[in-house]
Amino acid sequence: MGLIASDQFKIVVGLGKTGLACARFLAKKGVPFAVADSREQPPGADELRQEMPDVELRCGEFDPAFLGRADELILSPGVAKDQPAIQTAVAAGASLSGDIDLFCREISAPIIAITGSNAKSTVTSLVGEMAAAAGIDVGVCGNIGTPVLEMLEQPEKALYVMELSSFQLETTHELRAEVATVLNISPDHMDRYESFQDYYQAKHRIFRGAKAVVVNRDDQLTMPLLPMGVPQSGFHLGKPDLKLFGLIKEDGETWLALGLEKLLPVSALKIRGSHNMANALAALALGQQAGIPMPAMLQALQAYTGLRHRCEWVAEKNGVVFFNDSKGTNVGASVAALNGLGETLPDGGKLVLIAGGDGKGAEFTELAEPLQRYGRGLVYLGTDGARLAGDCGDIDKQSADSMESAVQQAATMARAGDIVLLSPACASFDMFSGFPARGEAFVKAVEAL
């Protein structure tokens, strides 16, 4: 396909899963486009050449003159928009968008849009289960697994529940969600953002044009600056105000509640820990704003067992319970897991944490406090394991060179009534192909004990 100087020439920047989905979408629409990737051998290149032999693919350092020919650059989430070649193209008049905008231009069904530093996937999948339990034809997509453009290969759904990363939101202008939320904000991806403020602003783009919002009353950073007329709901882990979701404690039992109305005892949930109570309340608030009936939501909540690799119950061995939280790829997620499971420990029970990996430039000092409170020991591994251990204060520490050895050491440290938790506070790419492979290695090592 030759380059044409029309007002309709697009360049997909960054291949991989999302870039390939964008290319297939544009090819189907008959829009002239090319693809650029800074890697010499980008994933998806073979499929692209096979399916679309006429589409130009430029690999290697971005060429500003080439990018400058497009009226629109469609960025994959992995590509930072502040790269000089991209900024030069923007200065020459190219607009920036991503797969979310392409999707939103095609559908008319309402969207529930969810972001946050942690728990996005749990809340997204839970809201999807609630909608399904109510008999709604729902599509769950975005950062959680199915690229949004692949959803267009099926008939349009009645509702979409979408998990969005800060990277996706950077290039999103046309979301206009039925309900939007930022679940929580703690520093993450500081290797990508100039400052915490930039990361915060990327997250808050989710609220643009939203018809209703849900805020976490326990996290000031989730509160949007919005016109007065936009309906707001909220949740927190205290006693709920009128029309808000929270917890009511009565006769030794804790209930999920809406205002003064008790909805469901926490003991009826299969997911454990205060962070999962927050997830349940967030899902209820989002579902309510989107009009999902309460009985269906409560039914889905009771059936929900959680996502793989996210504080997932693995096994009990010699009175020690093992939890796989391999998805704890940043410090905030691991702090939430430590606090959440720490609160469920029996008298005398403690936590043994397995952590470490690629720290993405983060500090680990926030782990010290929950480890002091709940920890029996720490087994550390990976590139930044020793740095993590150094930030964790005075606790029994051991280093491991493999997941098998880490699990064996943790099992030796633990006593009956304890929890062994894999929640690495780091990315996995120094030792594994991704957090699922790391979680599988943990599960395998636990089963082999």
239-257 residues labelled b (16+ CB within 10 A) or e (exposed): ebeeebbbbbeeeeebbbb
Interatomic CA distance for residues 114 and 139, integer angstroms: 14
Contact 327, 309 (CB under 8 A): yes
DSSP labels for 182-219?
Answer: E-------TTT-SSHHHHHHHHHGGGTT-SSEEEETT-
Query: How many residues in total does the chain contain?
Result: 449
CA proximity to 333, closest of 360, 314, 294: 360
> Which 3 state secondary structure label does DSSP give 64?
helix
Encode burial over 264-302: b for 16+ CB neighbours within 10 A, e otherwise: bebeebebbbbbbbbbbbbbbbbbbbbebebebbbbbbe
Catalytic positions are 120, 143, 189
